[in-house]
């Protein structure tokens, strides 16, 4: 049963105008936030500048809103037509808040009531990463593998599409985007031996237009005559079958649970696939395509145009799912349309987004699992002493959540820097036999994570994508598991798992302001212009996710292998934060 409580007046009509990348770079900010990544290029950059390096120290708490839930809150709020929309973790309620009134009272709440059993197949907390606004609809995903569209004015459900089966271990936690009237959605569940896919739905009615699997024969992966990878290692027929042991691709993971970017000018969208299953690589000899791979596809058909496998035969659960920031840069004196992909393997890939050529792939964290990337062949040169399987290894860096995980970066065209929230974790592992039973964990590794060199478990840094190097970095006690937003006021916002929300100078990382939240935060900050013309900054707090499972899930950290090994690295988190579920909104006096 769906319940909608309406206490609102009608929204004004909003005209949806898809912007090309060059337009996104130069378009004056309308003050809204209509998709989780701010724009198709995933820059998470706002041209608002009322709040700047000189006055950010004066930020004050303006209002708050409690979601009523205490699991991990990873979503980015949306702001459209003076209304803020918030998606909660399971049970995935959608709140509409009226920004025209003091304290932003609730206009309505849509309660979809997803299947409660879906909580049992959420590998890394029952999180949700947000929604997208499109032509009068708020579109988002439910944990039980459904996508819904809700009328932005009334909260009425317009359509609801079931896309998978929780009994197989499938779930959905990612934020969709909409390109050319197609809703792009991918599944989660790589730790359960599901078969990964990304689907395109008709934004008008929710009907599935196409589905591109990440494993299996070319016809299932939507690979055809126009598929032209840059590197020879990614060329060949039916590699999604031939690079697996017999039948392995059918339970091979390679899900699409994270970020999607879109270039309207090239008419390509970009996303990465997750780890192949199981984690134990000796049970799946071969490159295991197309796990841990970046894809470029057409939104209307799903047709694959190019692909690049970042981590062939993924040894460390490095995936390929992290964000792809679309930038127009001059590299080695030549203008290039690039994407910046900070991978979990600890390397920042700067790639030509028209064809998949790697231009640089330098490390942004401490890495000892690989030596380099051969730019001519695209090959990731691995350290053989850190090879995993039916063995034991120690001090492999970075650990499975990678140099950074899903927590999204931002880019400022004013500074030319990418701002990276990331981890500093290493691990030890022991390989075990993973046996496939539908809907149950399919991993095959006992893992224990711990702090990397220096003892800090996280950092926030600025990366120069042209010169491929870190410009400055701030060490943090815990992994920095929030997203980040940067503004034309040259201020960067991010949060910490011990509950601080911070503003730093985009040029040099100097701390300018901080506020202690009621719980650790793993959310995505946004900034917007209110109906009063003022600039506001908002973030959801509520510790959890994979990194915060020890608190949100009440885990006993005596077993360091709990939470797929993250528990060992976070035994003291409960001393710094408790559970929460609160929106905080700040403004200048």
The number of CA neighbours under 13 Å toward the Cβ of 550 is 25
Residue 380 CA, chain-centre distance (Å), reads 23
Contact 153/168 with Cβ under 8 angstroms?
no
Residue holding tokens 């999607």? 260
The number of CA neighbours under 13 Å toward the Cβ of 224 is 9
Residue 202 CA, chain-centre distance (Å), reads 23
Contact 260/184 with Cβ under 8 angstroms?
yes
Distance CA 348, CA 466 (A): 11
Distance CA 145, CA 92 (A): 12
Contact 280/389 with Cβ under 8 angstroms?
yes
Nearest Cα to Cα of residue 132 among 219, 233, 201, 48: 201
Number of neighbouring beta carbons within 10 Å of residue 455: 10
Q: Is 294 helix (H, G, I), strand (E, B) or coil?
A: strand
The number of CA neighbours under 13 Å toward the Cβ of 530 is 21
Distance CA 73, CA 86 (A): 10
Contact 403/369 with Cβ under 8 angstroms?
no
DSSP 344: T
The number of CA neighbours under 13 Å toward the Cβ of 25 is 15
What stretches of 144-206 adopt beta strand conformation (E)? 146-151, 157-162, 177-179, 182-186, 197-202
Distance CA 525, CA 102 (A): 21
Annotated catalytic residue 218? no
Residue 462: beta bridge partners? 419, 472
Distance CA 506, CA 399 (A): 28
> The tokens of 144 are what?
């039980």
Distance CA 530, CA 509 (A): 27
Annotated catalytic residue 52? no
520 vs 70, 72, 160, 540, 553, CA distance in Å?
11, 9, 33, 10, 14
Which helix (H) or strand (E) segment holds residue 304: the answer is strand 304-309
DSSP 219: H
Annotated catalytic residue 165? no
DSSP 127: -
Catalytic pick among 62, 220, 317, 357: 317
Distance CA 170, CA 251 (A): 12
The number of CA neighbours under 13 Å toward the Cβ of 429 is 28
| Residues written for the chain | 589
Catalytic pick among 153, 275, 311, 324: 275
Which helix (H) or strand (E) segment holds residue 418: the answer is strand 417-423
Catalytic pick among 93, 144, 191, 220: 191
> The tokens of 517 are what?
């939240």
Task: Just list the catalytic residues.
Answer: 191, 275, 317
């Amino acid at each position: 049963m769906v319940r909608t409580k309406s206490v609102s007046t009608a929204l004004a009509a909003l005209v949806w105008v898809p912007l090309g990348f060059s337009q996104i770079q130069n378009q004056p900010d309308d003050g809204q936030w209509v998709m989780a990544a701010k724009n198709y290029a995933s820059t998470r950059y706002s041209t608002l500048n009322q709040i700047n390096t000189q006055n950010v120290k004066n930020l004050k708490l303006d209002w708050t809103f409690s979601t009523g839930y205490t699991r991990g809150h990873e979503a980015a709020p949306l702001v459209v037509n003076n209304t803020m929309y918030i998606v909660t973790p399971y049970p995935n309620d959608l709140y509409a808040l009226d920004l025209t009134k003091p304290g932003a009272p609730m206009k309505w709440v849509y309660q979809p009531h997803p299947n409660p059993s879906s909580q049992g197949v959420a590998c890394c907390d029952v999180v949700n990463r947000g929604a997208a606004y499109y032509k009068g609809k708020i579109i988002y995903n439910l944990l039980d593998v459904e996508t819904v569209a809700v009328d932005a004015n009334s909260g009425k459900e317009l359509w609801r599409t079931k896309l998978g089966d929780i009994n197989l271990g499938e779930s959905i936690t990612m934020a969709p985007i909409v390109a050319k009237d197609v809703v792009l959605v991918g599944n989660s569940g790589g730790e359960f031996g599901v078969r990964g896919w990304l689907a395109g739905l008709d934004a008008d009615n929710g009907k599935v237009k196409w589905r591109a699997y990440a494993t299996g024969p070319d016809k299932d992966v939507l690979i055809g005559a126009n598929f032209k990878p840059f590197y020879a290692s990614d060329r060949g027929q039916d590699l999604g079958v031939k690079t697996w042991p017999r039948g392995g691709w059918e339970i091979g993971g390679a899900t699409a649970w994270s970020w999607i970017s879109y270039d309207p000018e090239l008419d390509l969208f970009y996303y990465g696939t997750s780890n192949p299953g199981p984690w134990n690589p000796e049970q799946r000899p071969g490159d295991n395509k197309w796990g841990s791979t970046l894809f470029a596809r057409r939104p209307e058909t799903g047709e694959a145009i190019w692909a690049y496998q970042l981590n062939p035969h993924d040894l460390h659960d490095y995936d390929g799912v992290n964000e792809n920031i679309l930038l127009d840069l001059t590299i080695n004196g030549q203008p290039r349309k690039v994407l910046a992909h900070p991978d979990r393997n600890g390397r920042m890939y700067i790639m030509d987004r028209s064809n998949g050529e790697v231009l640089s792939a330098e490390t942004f964290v401490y890495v000892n699992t690989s030596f380099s990337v051969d730019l001519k062949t695209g090959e990731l040169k691995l350290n053989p002493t850190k090879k995993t399987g039916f063995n034991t290894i120690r001090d492999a860096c970075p650990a499975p959540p990678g140099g950074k995980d899903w927590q999204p970066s931002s880019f400022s065209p004013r500074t030319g820097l990418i701002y990276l929230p990331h981890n500093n974790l290493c691990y030890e592992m022991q390989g075990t036999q993973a046996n496939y039973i539908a809907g149950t964990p399919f991993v095959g590794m006992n893992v224990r994570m711990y702090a990397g060199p220096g003892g800090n478990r996280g950092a926030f840094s600025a990366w120069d994508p042209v010169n491929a190097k870190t410009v400055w970095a701030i060490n943090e006690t815990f992994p920095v598991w929030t997203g980040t937003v940067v503004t034309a006021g040259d201020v960067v916002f991010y949060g910490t798992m011990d509950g601080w929300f911070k503003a730093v100078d985009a040029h040099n990382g100097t701390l300018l302001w901080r506020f202690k939240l009621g719980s650790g935060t793993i959310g995505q900050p946004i900034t917007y212009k209110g109906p009063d013309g003022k600039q506001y900054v908002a973030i959801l707090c509520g510790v959890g996710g994979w990194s915060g499972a020890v608190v949100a899930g009440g885990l006993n950290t005596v077993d360091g292998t709990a939470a797929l090994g993250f528990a060992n690295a976070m035994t003291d988190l409960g001393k710094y934060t408790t559970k929460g579920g609160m929106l905080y909104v700040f403004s200048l006096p």
